Amino acid sequence: MTTTHHFDLLIIGSGTAGLTLALKMADKARVAVLSKSQLEEGASLYAQGGISVVLDKADSLQSHIDDTLRAGGGLCDEDVVRFTVEHARESVEWLIEQGVSFTRDDMTTETYHLTQEGGHSHRRVIHSADATGRAVETTLLDKAKAHPNISLFPYHIGIDLITAHKHLATEENSCLGCYVLDIKKDQPKTFLAPVTVLATGGAGKVYLYTSNPDVSTGDGIAMGWRAGCRIANMEFIQFHPTCLFHPKAKSFLISEALRGEGATLKLADGTRFMPAFHPQAELAPRDIVARAIDHEMKRLGQDCVYLDISHQSKEFITTHFPTIYKRCLKFGVDMAKEPIPVVPAAHYTCGGVMTDMRGRTDIDGLYAIGETAHTGLHGANRMASNSLLECLVFADAAARDILNRPKITMPDDIPHWDESRVHPAKEAVAISHNWDELRRFMWDYVGIVRSTQRLNRARQRLYLLQQEIDEFYSQHHISNDLLELRNLADVAELIIESALQRKESRGLHYTLDYPETSDITASNSIIAGKKPT
């Protein structure tokens, strides 16, 4: 018999967005928070740079808005940008109230140290050394663990959303919860709630090289699409320009804050190259820096380029970047004495499940927040350190909206997950092989530089993979690996189809067939929700 859990609010994802929402709702509702790995594991934990917020008197809200719009390549929703920027300070102050310790200018001052990152015209990134995400995530998680109304479920992955349209055959569609796999017990469960929130993060693992943790497989985006939500702008995948290049480093991120503190990008012979690509040089928007590095690597046939901050003192480096310094040293690179070998890697999903400014999706009772959502904040390219800010602002907005929702009575005839017609898989080699093939052709054909031919090749290969995945899914017991592979294949389809729609180069989408930006196509790429089968 399938276990059934009943809650007032179901949050799928335990990163900054999910935990912020849980804490803001917990005094008024019984909240379940699901995480498919350890509770703290996710992209939030590894965010190094910080949070964008106007605190300097020389800065202004309008400047932050203008910088975000400029980085977004003409596709940001200006109302959303303004809303986010105007709520930044109160969001950061809330984090401070929760106990997050941000770096100060020195031990004797109340002033917080602000750094500058790519696309920003001022120092406005508040941070906790070079491990802001860890400081935020661990603080919020400790608060959530201590709250009696929050139930935490590690090692639970969503299978599919439960919707009235599909599972109760009603005309009006609404979300009633989610079928979930308890990974440790290998047991499907049913989680029912009048409000469900997708906060599963992005989809960087669809690519061979990524700065994202292994859990970033686009689960919320894929589940939302299969349930009938529109998906927007999935062609805009941000590739972080600087990840540590080392065979055992697993694409460890080298924060953009290094470039904010004067680090320069160089070729193997020591030649600096970014000034030739953009007036802001190393502080240009990430898409420009990533393409410049990709261009130089391909032009010279080199495996990496180098990021050099060795002109700064060792004391400065170990104080401002202790985590990065220790990690590089572990791999034999002393960044106080020599440049760091770096390569671009998939980093952030700018598109996602379409929402309004309260986190509401196309389906009643279903919300999406954080990297899973497309709010309109990022447009064609996310500006550095606006991501954690988006998590905080929209988690708060969603909480306010959910609290104002009318109470509903949950139906009592929701079916349990049915495994009666499937059997255990005899071997998992098909899953691991398809996983590797998918990530490799996405990197080769749908990466930093694209073309129509490459995209069509990717689409053909994906079609064959999806047939195999669907056959395997329909015949065998589900597993974590199978669910992630299925979700990655859906995300890959959304990225490819969105990229084929866009007949121009804009922001993070660069295609050799349409290298110029066209005002005629200055609109979002929208894919309708998948029809239930």
Give me the active site residues, please: 286
C-alpha angle 219-524-198 in degrees, rounded to nearest 5: 25
Contact status, residue 55 vs residue 114, Cβ threshold 8 Å:
yes
Integer Cα distance of 86 and 53 in angstroms: 9
- Continuous segment of H or E residues that includes residue 527: strand 526-527
Q: At 393, which amino acid appears? A: V
Say whether 333 sits in a helix, a strand or coil.
coil
Say whether 221 sits in a helix, a strand or coil.
helix
Query: SS3 helix, strand, coil % of the chain, rounded to 5?
Result: 40, 20, 45
Residues in a beta bridge with 33: 11, 152
First to last CA, the chain: 25
Integer Cα distance of 74 and 66 in angstroms: 11
Q: At 505, which amino acid appears? A: S
Integer Cα distance of 32 and 27 in angstroms: 13
- Continuous segment of H or E residues that includes residue 177: strand 175-182
Residue the block writes with tokens 């917990």: 26
Task: Note the residue count of the chain.
Answer: 533
What Rg value do the Cα atoms of the chain yield, rounded?
22
Residue the block writes with tokens 């100060």: 104
Integer Cα distance of 226 and 503 in angstroms: 26
- Shortest CA distance to 436 belongs to which of 490, 488, 477? 488
Angle of helix 132-146 relative to helix 88-98, nearest 10 degrees, comes to: 60
> How many Cβ atoms from other residues are within 10 Å of residue 427's Cβ?
7
